[in-house]
Amino acid sequence: MCGRYCIAPKDASAWAPIGEVFGEAIAAQLGALQPQFNIAPSTQIPILVQDARTRDFRALVARWGLIPHWWRETKLPALSFNARSEEAADRPMWKDAWRFTRCLIPATHWYEWRKQAATKQPFALSFADGNVFCFAGLYAWWRPAPDAEPRLSAAILTRAAAPSIADIHDRMPVILHANQWRTWLDPDERDPARVRKILEVSAVLNAISWPVSLEVNSALHQSAELLRPLSP
């Protein structure tokens, strides 16, 4: 799963992959955001989408925790911040977004917890180049009432963990190669099997990891110290 992540680039150059694919204006828009070191579900996060009408790429802000467009319950759906990529095409919660409204979610790190004797040890995970990468995501617009303003929400797709991190957790977010970012967002790509193929052939798996402080357990803690490697 992915229950916490960071947008904490080392410097402005870390946004270069975004600029190369989506243009410097979007890279600058995202680069102007304040670093976030412990993003938790239900908070507001930046996402990248492609407008089906204009074909423009856009950076928007969404609630982390997808609310499908057809939701009618008073209580919002629980645990909708992650979607299992193996099942999403067929599950009512996700299948419309799988076909019609896919997004990218920029990040620089994420956290996973390894079960140990009496506790769970958190680990930070990232990639050696230090650049911003993107989770594969799904998004939806939802109206709490017919005359209400629509609300945007999103979820991160997950997959089985890569061998390099399987000893920490058995799941990980789906992270896409930059050369597939536009393909993933393409609103004309609506075949569920072809959408699944994008994830199968273009996921980035060579993550690195290191143990970090238990302070990351609380979303109230927000500082660069959370990414500091834990002393032996």
79, 146, 153 from 142: Cα distances, Å = 17, 10, 8
- Using a CB cutoff of 8 Å and minimum separation of 24, what contacts does 69-74 make? 69/96, 69/140, 69/141, 69/142, 70/96, 71/142
Tens digit of each residue's pLDDT, the chain (232 residues): 789 999 999 999 999 999 999 999 999 999 999 999 999 999 999 999 999 999 999 999 999 999 999 999 989 999 999 999 999 999 999 999 999 999 999 999 999 999 987 889 999 999 999 999 999 999 999 999 889 999 999 999 999 999 989 999 999 999 999 999 999 999 999 999 999 999 988 888 889 999 999 999 999 999 999 999 997 6
pTM for this prediction: 0.96
- Residue 223: count of CB within 10 angstroms of its CB: 11
For the chain, which domains are there?
4-227 (3.90.1680.10)
Do 197 and 180 contact (CB within 8 A), yes or no? no
Cβ contacts of residue 59 below 8 Å, gap of 6+? 26, 29, 30, 46, 47, 48
What six digits make up the tokens of 66? 């997808």
